[in-house]
Structure 1
Amino acid sequence: MKPMSRNSFLQFAGATAAATGLVLAGCDNDDDGVSTMGTVDLGSGDTGILNYAYLLEQLEAAFYVQVIATPFTGMTAAEKTILTDIRDHELAHRDFFKYALGASAIASVEVNFASIDFTNRASVLGTAKAFEDLGVSAYNGAGKLIENTDYLLLAGKIVSVEARHASAIRDLLNPFSADYAGDDVVTVSQGLDGAKTPAEVLTIAAAYVKTTVKFDKLPS
């Protein structure tokens, strides 16, 4: 896998925004995301779904920033390169959603990584695998809830990058194995990645987010 640089992704994201008019113009009737002290409300409609994605990208970006800032014991140069590329992708995703949402964006959430041992390779890569799988299942589950086809196209492009991350992490954990597409994430009958509802995803993510997240207005 040849990861896309952050600059390249931002150029792609900017071009996509310009081409599709991704400025939330189609979400005027949606409730905007609301942030109060210690609480964020994702809002409703497509705005709510984009804030949902923005929250998850905040979580992933914060995780990889910490991973690179405090490398685990024995991290190789190759591992650092891969994890740095993933960090840059997640930062690009996060920044793009913040830009696209504009005034409708929720505030930055406070993360809680107390359960992760950032000095331990297995802890870091195991968490990375869990986060990437969660991200893929979140985008897959949210796709049917998005009304604006431009946003759906964008989500499809981002989930493909998240899936590449999941594959790269699996290769670090089990080099040269078939784990890149294991039965834990790909259904045997359909050969497709699994999908989770926002409620399922946010319940799992809550273990790593201190901020209270209200999502009762999201489409279902």
Structure 2
Amino acid sequence: MKTESQENILQANMARRSFLRYAGVGVASVGLLATAACHKDHQAPTPPANGVDLGAKNDFAILNYAYALEQLEAAFYLQVAATPYSGITSAETALLTDIRDHEVLHREFFKAALGSKAIQDLTPDFSSIDFSNRAKVLAAAKAFEDTGVTAYDGAGYLIADANYLLIAGKIVSVEARHAALISNLILPGSFAASDVSDPATSLNKSASIPEVLKIANMFLKTKVSAVNYGYTAS
């Protein structure tokens, strides 16, 4: 089991060495996000009493929305890796460790790109998940991955800047790979089942910001609201 110190070292080293290369964007792209985030016309979100709000309707709100979800996914897979479920195989360990590394890199990418406009670190609440049970862990992983993909697909049209949309597209492509892998671990051949893909169009299903945050907040002590998008955290 990794100590907190070992986990911090892992995350720091990954962030320094890999996150730009993994995300598939150059320093210029991150600089573009960071520079724009400092623009005087864009104010940081004002946190509600019980957590944080995404703020005004702009690209930074959507980037923070993605950042919140990546924080949640990274925290989940870090816990999965730290406390492996009973009977986990070496192949499953390798696959889930890869997903953990991806999610940490996604989280660190958004944090670095948003800079001072990033929402605060969120505190997860995984008390409802039995991390010792394979079926429950994989069911939770599927819920997180499927929700993440539908979230990106549902909010993509709200992104005005083509550079941000390109980054989001690259990240959701990897998230969809995660979702397919987890589905196949649960039931081989279910990687594009009707619960995630519309049989009539073969297009992935999408979800609105309120729909996604309602699910995400079930696993967060730090609640995330999106008042300007029609969702107030309870």
Q: Is this a same-fold pair by TM over 0.5?
A: yes
Deviations 1:80-121 (A, max 9, x none): 000000000000000000000000001111111111000000
Q: CA deviation at 1:39?
A: 1.5
Aligned letter for 1:40? V
Aligned letter for 1:23? A
The structure 2 residue matched to 1:98, chosen from 111, 118, 142, is 111
Q: Structure 2: give runs of 5+ residues left out of the alignment.
A: 1-13
Deviations 1:158-199 (A, max 9, x none): 000000000111111123x2x000000000111110111111
* Counterparts of 2:37 and 2:118, CA distance in 1: 15
Alignment match, 1:33: 45
Alignment match, 1:118: 131
* Counterparts of 2:48 and 2:21, CA distance in 1: 33
User: Does residue 181 of the first structure (1) align with residue 204 of the second (2)?
Assistant: no
* Counterparts of 1:64 and 1:131, CA distance in 2: 10
Aligned letter for 2:142? K
User: Does residue 82 of the first structure (1) align with residue 95 of the second (2)?
Assistant: yes
* Counterparts of 2:225 and 2:27, CA distance in 1: 27
* Counterparts of 2:227 and 2:26, CA distance in 1: 30
Alignment match, 2:204: 193
Deviations 1:35-63 (A, max 9, x none): 47741121221111111100000000000
| Counterpart contact for 1:71–1:118, Cα < 8 Å | yes
Q: Mean alpha-carbon deviation: is it higher for 8-17 or for 193-202?
A: 8-17
Deviations 1:117-165 (A, max 9, x none): 0000000000001100000000001100011110001110000000000
Q: CA deviation at 1:212?
A: 2.5
| Counterpart contact for 2:25–2:167, Cα < 8 Å | no
Q: CA deviation at 1:219?
A: 8.9
* Counterparts of 1:30 and 1:190, CA distance in 2: 38
| Counterpart contact for 1:57–1:93, Cα < 8 Å | yes
| Counterpart contact for 1:42–1:48, Cα < 8 Å | yes
| TM-score scaled by length of structure 1 | 0.89
Sequence identity, in percent? 52
| Counterpart contact for 1:109–1:210, Cα < 8 Å | yes
For the residue of structure 1 that corresponds to 2:52, the secondary structure is strand
Q: Structure 1: give runs of 5+ residues left out of the alignment.
A: 1-5
* Counterparts of 1:102 and 1:121, CA distance in 2: 37
Alignment match, 1:206: 217
Number of residues of Structure 1 aligned to a counterpart in Structure 2: 213
Q: Mean alpha-carbon deviation: is it higher for 106-115 or for 119-128?
A: 106-115
The structure 2 residue matched to 1:132, chosen from 117, 139, 145, is 145
| Counterpart contact for 1:31–1:47, Cα < 8 Å | no
User: Does residue 10 of the first structure (1) align with residue 20 of the second (2)?
Assistant: yes
For the residue of structure 2 that corresponds to 1:74, the secondary structure is coil
Q: Mean alpha-carbon deviation: is it higher for 6-15 or for 208-217?
A: 6-15
Superposition CA RMSD, Å:
2.1
* Counterparts of 1:110 and 1:139, CA distance in 2: 22
* Counterparts of 2:201 and 2:227, CA distance in 1: 31
For the residue of structure 2 that corresponds to 1:87, the secondary structure is helix
Deviations 1:10-47 (A, max 9, x none): 31437434247232517833332344774112122111
| Counterpart contact for 1:33–1:42, Cα < 8 Å | yes
User: Does residue 72 of the first structure (1) align with residue 82 of the second (2)?
Assistant: no
